[in-house]
Chain A
Amino acid sequence: MSRLLSEEEYRKTKAFKIKRWYRGDKDPYIGKVELKPQKPFAEDFSSMKQRIHDEALLKRKIYDIEHNRKLRAFSKLYSAISVVFVFTLIAILLYVVSYLPPVGNPANPDNNEVARKYIEDGMADTGAVNIVTGMILDYRAFDTLGESNVLFIATCTVLILLRVDNRSKKKEEEENDRLYEPKNDIILQKVAFFLVPMIIIYGIYVILNGHLSPGGGFSGGAIIGSGLILYVNAFGFKKIERFFTQKTYKWICFVSLLFYCLAKTYSFYCGAHHLETGIPLGTPGNILSSGLILPLNICVGMVVACTMYAFYAMFRKGGF
């Protein structure tokens, strides 16, 4: 009730809506959230018979320690040995660690000419203010090439395991997707509406500044990937498929990894034959500097973001 407005006008104001929500008269979820209740568990006779048979078999063969002496002896021996093994391993490792060179001692073997050159000449050699980025993407770029292929092959393995290609099964998975999480959750959507752009922009910032400040492709890609996952949680697969489908994923991964391979092949070839690459290093500290590092960081970032999102989508419904 209000003294200044009439009842009808008051009902239109935000204050009234909030008050109503606060009093619990209206649930914003009702009618908006898409939620498919899980069906009560039911199984047909033959599968039930099979299940009971399997359970009995399992119990008899594996868990029936009372009547199976050999099994009992084995399980006891197994747990005893594993405890002994673990503690021996811990003891050995602690013993070894106590003999390692002390931390922070300047006379340690790893404070040698390798680390010194990275620190002293890193900026002049690679053009990157961030020495770590300079190390992983220029000095030891071959390792990082392998590392990004590890990500690529890990997604491929997950695709083998979880991707659903059968059409009818795909439809079923699509239906079941609603079982576990409600869709169109207003609170989540409003929060995501503010957060997702910021997360993604921050990820882009981390990637683009990889050669200037801490960060780089791997961390920035992970941030963008988490932004995408939040988006898909809030708005559902239908919305994200307007700009990110399995095809986009495939092509982004393909283009960035291929560019990575080709660029590094060129640079390795030139390096081994002592040729100039012709890629300018620029002024250290500028955004457009440090030669190949910036584009490679972008490639790595895209691959990592796609990998994160693909893992999520695969585990959720076997495709996207």
Chain B
Amino acid sequence: MDFIQNFPFFSILLSLGSGVLTSIMDKRMARLWNTFILVVITVLSAVLFVYMLGTREPYTFMMGHFPAPWGNEIRAGVLEAGMALFFCLVMLFSLKGGQEHIDAEIEDTKVNLYYIMINLLLSSLLALIYTNDLFTAYVFVEINTISACGLIMITQSGRTIEAATRYMIMASLGSGLLLMGLCILYDITGHLLMSNIKDSIAYVYAQGTYNIPLIASIGMVVVGLAIKSALYPFHTWLPDAYGYSTASSAAILSSLVSKGYIFLLIKIFFRVVGFDIIVDSKIVNILFVFGLCGMIMGSVNAILEDDIRRMIAFSSVAQIGYIYMGLGLGTTIGIVASIFHILSHASTKSLLFIAGVGLTDASGGSKRFDDLTGSGYRNPAAGIAFTIGACSMVGIPLFSGFISKVQFAEAAVQNSLAKMLPTLICLAISTVLNAIYFMKTVIRLYTPVSKKTKKTQAGEAARASVREHPLYNISLVCMIILNVILGCCSQPIVDWITDGLAMFG
């Protein structure tokens, strides 16, 4: 066994242990240590990714002295390593971009608790990516949920506590459904290890003895994870949670937490149940319909919104709809498009949240559109970054959103007519709606301030020059670069995802 194959194990244990370690640190030390750990894990994941691209051979890693069906096991392939690398990068950039706000908005004595949450969130994301065991996945889903809740309510205002309560209720419902689904799966297969479950499900499905519990358990797992990742009718917790928490939290929640669950769902599709059975069970069609609804309704709600942060949050609902629509197409190419959209949306949405907070700072802290007029001039870096993020979301070529839309369209035309038409129509409508609200915002950012508004209080506060931390600008640049890389060099990335999915089976 090569030494590099230890890296997934090291990354999970390192972030888990540093969460514990952070509990005795003070504010500055906690921040430094967190940055250090993030960089180390990013480097480890990058090395593993390069190594995996070389060997192209997925491997399992025994956690303990006992081989797989008895002990725990993690598994790494090309897709897992790449996802881990990408998640670490996005997390690093969002934390550094919002660092000023973390310091300003959180009580001094509680900053180290924030970094505990971040460390454990990272470890749970990594464990969800690498795990080969359904119960391990469930345990880390719990950690993920609780730490996300902490991230929401660490800025203690009424709205965030309300948002955290809503999130807790919905997420508990999701966890409960997931757990029930896993219990039924265990009852009819007798295993918790993903590859063993897949074998026995294939056997059980061929025999036809337990088809009803099987379908029900798949349904519960899918609905549970869909609730947790805010698929359209279950999205009510999302706008408040993203709209009022601190900027880094919003960026991390929207780009990583919900994506971790979706990745787990894809993993369950391919590694636990088997994609043929999933398609055969017609559950994908339900996801397809809800995904389409989400694409339209999320955008409509975003248009009606008068608060920039909540608008971006509703845009997340629409983008989650895209991802589920891709899953619902029921073809491998649709899944590839979905995974690409996970990457594209994660990089873009974190950029938008971080840029958005710069713009609101330049407008005296107000998030309302009237006060944001002309803020693109007052904070040029944030203005440019927001424009780029908006272009990417709408789907302008050069940026990542364009590629994912092309991917979705390609996946749609290879499908039957019954799915192709709605997909293409909804893609078109949703793109237009996206353009309406994002371009409206961009135009407002670059509208010069009229004399009348200058005199008002918000204008007064806005004119005070904002000097952002250099770290803020650096992280914005990094996120833009990530976005452009996804948009311009998409072919190798799509190839990598396709290969990774093939290794999943």
Contacts and interface: CB of A to CB of B under 8 A. Distances in A.
B460 to A, nearest CB: 27
A143 B136 contact: yes
B135 interface: yes
B110 A163 contact: yes
Interface of B: 1, 6, 9, 13, 16-17, 19-21, 23-24, 61-66, 69-72, 107-110, 113, 116-117, 120, 123-124, 127, 133, 135-136, 139-140, 142-143, 146-147, 149-150, 153-154, 156, 161, 180, 184, 186-191, 200, 204, 210, 212-213, 216-217
A283 B120 CA distance: 37
A211 B210 CA distance: 37
Contacts of A25: none
Contacts of B127: 146
B23 A160 contact: no
A143 B135 contact: yes
A117 interface: yes
A268 B24 contact: no
Nearest to A109: B190
Q: Sort A-B residue pairs by CB-CB distance and give the 7 closest, nearest first.
A: A146-B139, A110-B190, A142-B72, A271-B65, A109-B190, A261-B17, A96-B216
Q: For chain A, what secondary structure do more than half of its interface residues adopt (helix, strand, loop), or is it mixed?
A: helix
Contacts of A154: 146
A215 B213 CA distance: 33
Contacts of B154: 160
A271 B68 CA distance: 12
Contact of A146 (B143, B149, B191): B143
A267 to B, nearest CB: 7
A250 interface: yes
For the residues of B in contact with A, the DSSP-based class is helix
Given A100-B187, A143-B72, A157-B146, 15 more contacts: A99-B210, A100-B213, A109-B188, A109-B204, A112-B190, A115-B190, A125-B66, A138-B65, A143-B136, A153-B19, A156-B117, A157-B153, A163-B109, A254-B21, A271-B63
Interface of A: 92-93, 95-96, 99-101, 108-115, 117-118, 125, 138-143, 145-147, 149-150, 152-154, 156-157, 159-161, 163, 165, 250-251, 253-254, 257-258, 261-262, 264-265, 267-273, 277
B63 A272 contact: yes
24 contacts: A93-B180, A96-B212, A96-B216, A100-B187, A101-B187, A101-B210, A139-B64, A139-B66, A140-B72, A141-B64, A142-B64, A146-B127, A149-B143, A150-B142, A154-B146, A156-B117, A160-B110, A160-B150, A161-B153, A250-B23, A254-B21, A261-B20, A272-B9, A277-B65
Contacts of B65: 125, 138, 267, 270-271, 277
Nearest to A108: B190
B23 A254 contact: yes
A156 B120 CA distance: 11
B70 A114 contact: yes
A110 B216 contact: no
Contacts of A265: 13, 17
A278 B143 CA distance: 32
A100 B200 CA distance: 15
Contact of A150 (B117, B139, B153): B139
A258 B20 contact: yes
A139 B193 CA distance: 13
A269 B147 CA distance: 27
A167 B379 CA distance: 38
Contacts of B135: 140, 143
Contacts of B124: 146
